[in-house]
Amino acid sequence: MEPTNPKLPNPHDVIEAAGEMMEVLCKMRGIEVDDLSEEEVDAIMVMAMEDNFPPDTPLRDVFGPGPKRD
């Protein structure tokens, strides 16, 4: 799926950068990424998305239109 708004950052790059940030934060805290709770991981991913996309951005503009439905 390709984003419908090419002016927005690539969501895959944002997610990858958030994962790298999570690894760095964990190293700094002296913990393993696997030790993070689901809520902590979700919070980091939400922050990454909010920092890179305006709050009223439709998901189809970020991730593309999705599969066709019959």
pLDDT in tens, 19-66: 888 889 889 989 898 888 888 888 887 777 777 777 777 766 666 666
Report the pLDDT value the prediction gives residue 67, as an integer from 0 to 100. Answer: 66
**Residue 49 domain-assigned (yes or no):** yes
- Identify which has the larger pLDDT, 10 or 27: 27
| Overall average pLDDT of the 9-17 stretch | 81
**Residue 67 domain-assigned (yes or no):** no
The residue range of the domain holding 17 is 11-53
**Residue 19 domain-assigned (yes or no):** yes
**Residue 66 domain-assigned (yes or no):** no
**Residue 64 domain-assigned (yes or no):** no
Q: How many domains does the chain have?
A: 1
Please say if the pLDDT value at position 70 is more than 80.
Answer: no
**Residue 20 domain-assigned (yes or no):** yes
> What is the distance between the alpha carbons of residues 54 and 68, in angstroms, rounded to a whole number?
26
Instruction: Check: CB of residue 2 under 8 Å from CB of residue 64.
Output: yes
